[in-house]
Amino acid sequence: MNGSPLASYAACPSHSRGRYHSEPAPNYRTEYQRDRDRIVHSAAFRRLEYKTQVFVNHEGDLYRTRLTHSIEVAQIGRSIARALNLNEDLVEAIALAHDLGHTPFGHAGQEALNQCMADYGGFEHNLQSLRVVDELEEKYAEFSGLNLTYETREGILKHCSKENAKQLGAIGLRFLNKEQASLEAQLTDLADAITYNNHDVDDGLRAGLITIEQLNEVPFFSEQYSIVKKSYPDLPKRRSIHETVRRMINRQITDLITTSTALIHSANPETVDDIRAQSHSLIKFSDAMAEQHHALKQFLRQHLYQHYKVYRETIKAQQIVHALFKAFMDHPRLLPQEHYNTLNKIQKHFGETGRARTIADYIAGMTDRFAITEFDKLFP
Ligand code: MG
């Protein structure tokens, strides 16, 4: 587990499928470390601090933002990668980049922007994350985007419709050929799910939108909570919650490592290409844990994400996104000069669809508070 060499089927820079624009190898870091560094230095990464997942950014300083969420995914992902002798650097890069394409206002914003883009190819946050690192970041002299390795980009594109996959070239092929991504990509996807399930419990309780009594209906929570209460009857509430959530995370990670180790062992892959050729993912929870994980997710959907207070924010967010989109579509001159110039250039080639895409890029890049300010400026 510690310092053991990478498994032969781990992603490895020396077998990387490379970068779109070839570059000399880095001297003091690996290719995936270089990807991670580029992600950390990107503007989109800094914006994650002011974007929400569930709670609007100004609701309180202790709630997760997309930035702290991404850091937690990287932490959990790296722990799993290390235990499975997989490439931690790659997992870290994917984790830190996986939410770069998210709109302001979490899922509400994404849904609204997707509705706005219905006639122009839609809007999907995974695809947008890839767009951010492939095109939208403008920092380097020699290329647009961050010119990341294939493996990091593969991990960022978690899901993709066949329609979209056809337009993406090499990176879309696995969705058409039904191949798997690297184990690093597979595990980061599950690390994401472990992370948000558990931190949403914590944030939801903190916000008072869900209660311990309600959560006790979820066996996975109540099991751990009752152990904590029995072992530490006098522990204050917040510490009991934290101790419970910590144990839940630990159980999920342990289960994932044990189950995946067995699956990998029986598939007996030798190279990362053997992993890609598998008919199914080798990073999985046990059936029992998958069920518990799912039950918790269902609980959160019903009691937290659809809570009327969250729903109010959702509707407000959707109105803001719709209003901004319509205003910019009707009057592109409202855009800041630099975005207006881009719009003109793209519109020349792609007409109204190009106009819509430029506006979607602009809105998707906004933080929650920036979107609110833009809205207030345009609709006083
Ligand atoms: Mg995420």
pLDDT digits (tens, 9 = 90+) for 60-69: 677 888 999 9
CA–centroid distance, residue 98 to ligand 1 (Å) = 6
Cα angle at 164 between 32 and 127, to 5 degrees? 40
Cα(48) to ligand 1 centroid in Å equals: 11
C-alpha of residue 319 to centroid of ligand 1, in Å = 24
Q: Ligand 1: distance of its center to the CA of 67 in Å?
A: 10
Centroid of ligand 1 to alpha carbon of 95 (angstroms): 8
pLDDT band at 345, cuts 50/70/90? Answer: very high
Residue 278 has pLDDT above 50, yes or no: yes
Compute the distance from residue 268 Cα to the ligand 1 centre, in Å.
Answer: 30
pLDDT tens-digit map of 19-74: 999 999 999 999 999 999 999 999 999 999 999 877 655 566 778 889 999 999 99
Ligand 1 centre to CA of 340 (Å) is: 31
- Which is higher by pLDDT, 47 or 164? 47
**Predicted local confidence at residue 64, as pLDDT:** 83
Q: Residue 142 C-alpha to ligand 1 middle, in angstroms?
A: 30
**What pLDDT is recorded for position 1?**
42
pLDDT-based confidence at 323, cuts 50/70/90?
very high
pLDDT interval class at 331 (50, 70, 90): very high
Distance 260 CA to ligand 1 centre (A): 21
Give the model's pLDDT for residue 55.
64
Instruction: Show the 3-state SS of the chain.
Output: CCCCCCCCCCCCHHHCCCECCCCCCCCCCCHHHHHHHHHHCCHHHHHHHHCCCCCCHHHCCCCCCHHHHHHHHHHHHHHHHHHCCCCHHHHHHHHHHCCCCCCCCHHHHHHHHHHHCHHHCCCCHHHHHHHHHHHHCCCCCCCCCCCCEHHHHHHHCCCCCHHHHHCCHHHHHHHHHCCCCCHHHHHHHHHHHHHHHHHHHHHHHHHCCCCHHHHCCCHHHHHHHHHHHHHCCCCCHHHHHHHHHHHHHHHHHHHHHHHHHHHHHHHCCCCHHHHHCCCCCCCCCCHHHHHHHHHHHHHHHHHHHCCHHHHHHHHHHHHHHHHHHHHHHHCHHHCCHHHHHHHHHHHHHHHHHHHHHHHHHHHHHCCHHHHHHHHHHHCC
In the predicted model, what is the mean pLDDT of residues 337-350? 92
Residue (of 318, 280, 355, 14) closest to 151 by Cα position: 14
**How far apart, in whole angstroms, are the C-alpha atoms of residue 48 and residue 45?**
5
From the CA of 196, how far away is ligand 1's center (Å)? 7
Q: What is the mean pLDDT of residues 144-156?
A: 97
The token duo for 271 is 């190279």
Res 52: pLDDT: 82
Instruction: Say how many Å lie between the CA of residue 49 and the centre of ligand 1.
Output: 13
Distance from Cα 72 to the centre of ligand 1, integer Å: 10
Q: Where residue 314 falls among pLDDT bands split at 50, 70, 90? A: confident
Residue (of 120, 123, 192, 130) closest to 156 by Cα position:
130
Question: How far is ligand 1, taken at its centre, from the CA of residue 15, in Å?
Answer: 27
Q: Is it the case that residue 3 has pLDDT exceeding 60?
A: no
- The pTM of this model reads 0.95
Per-residue confidence (pLDDT) for residue 26, from 0 to 100: 93
Residue 57: the pLDDT is: 54
Tell how far the Cα of 346 is from the centroid of ligand 1, in angstroms. 30
Higher pLDDT, residue 159 or 364: 364
Ligand 1 center–CA 185 separation, angstroms: 13
Q: Are 123 and 116 spatial neighbours (Cβ–Cβ below 8 Å)?
A: yes
Residue 178 Cα, ligand 1 centroid: separation in angstroms?
23
pLDDT of 2 higher than 60: no
Q: How far is the CA of 66 from the centre of ligand 1 (A)?
A: 7
Q: Above 60 in pLDDT, residue 151?
A: yes
pLDDT at 58: 57
The mean pLDDT value for 119-134 works out to 95
CA of 51 to the centre of ligand 1 (A): 12
CA of 141 to the centre of ligand 1 (A): 30
